[in-house]
Amino acid sequence: MAYQKVANTNDLPTGRGLCVQVDGIDIGLFRVGEKIYAMENRCPHADDPLSEGTLEGTIVTCRAHGWQFDVRTGFRPEDGDGFPIPRFKVRTTGNTIEIDLQSSPDENR
Ligand code: FES
């Protein structure tokens, strides 16, 4: 487990995500209430950055062609059996947001 500082909570906008780069990978950070989610920032349709989409509740809508993804799971809401966007564990310490690129939120380690 190797958490890296990526942003401050004050950096996160409302209604869309924030792109940060870690080890050459673009990561989209999304705030839903008090919780922050991290997933690869690349729409699988045609690579548009999902952080530039519209975030409503837990659903981000890609600005390019309207595909939607649940930031909690990485899945399209209507296609829970498809391939999810890779997600990463997030933790906050005070205002500092850290993510662990080595682990998914689904893992218990
Ligand atoms: S690039 Fe995201 S919907 Fe087309």
17 near 28, Cβ under 8 Å? yes
Q: What is the pLDDT of residue 108?
A: 55
User: How is the chain split into domains, by residue range?
Assistant: 3-100
Nearest CA to ligand 1 atom 1: 46
Q: What is the pLDDT of residue 81?
A: 74
For residue 70, how far is its CA from the centre of ligand 1 (angstroms)?
14
Band the pLDDT of 1: cuts 50, 70, 90: low
CATH architecture of residue range(s) 3-100 = 3-layer Sandwich (2.102)
pLDDT tens-place string over residues 51-94: 999 999 999 999 999 999 999 999 999 877 778 999 999 999 99
Q: How confident is the model at residue 109 (pLDDT cuts 50, 70, 90)?
A: very low
First to last CA, the chain: 8
Q: Could you identify the atom of ligand 1 that is nearest to the CA of residue 66? A: 3
Could you read off the pLDDT of 18-44 as tens digits, one per residue? 999 999 999 999 999 999 999 999 999
3-state helix, strand, coil in the chain (%, to 5): 5, 45, 50
Mean of all residue pLDDT scores within the chain: 93
